[in-house]
Amino acid sequence: MRHLILAALLSLFPLLAEAQSPQCGPRAQIVAHLSQEFKEAQVARGLIDNGGLAEVWATQDGATFTLLVTLPNGLSCFIATGSGWQPVEHKLPPAPEQPL
């Protein structure tokens, strides 16, 4: 379910980028703003199928967080902000046993 919600949000990203919304700007400026004004640092990232970069920025104590998407051209847009960020341990299920 979370993957569907994230996919829906990310599908709106091209519309945000084309509109040059005030929620978007050059990556360097956005990152400086998150670091200086909110004391957030990057805590997770991943490549998007369209070549963009999805990131989570959060304060050290997790009090606030920001979801950020950056296009290959360097334009970054805020997708969401919130509070109470909690990292989780990534656990893979055990591999099925192979029959002999």
C-alpha distance across the termini of the chain, in Å:
37
pTM above 0.85, yes or no: no
28-63 per-position pLDDT tens digit: 999 999 999 999 999 999 999 989 999 999 999 999
- Rg of the Cα trace of the chain? 16
Asked if 86 and 60 touch (Cβ cutoff 8 Å), the reply is: no
55-68 per-position pLDDT tens digit: 999 999 999 999 99
Q: What residue ranges do the domains of the chain occupy?
A: 2-83
Angle at 86 between CA 69 and CA 78, to 5 degrees: 20
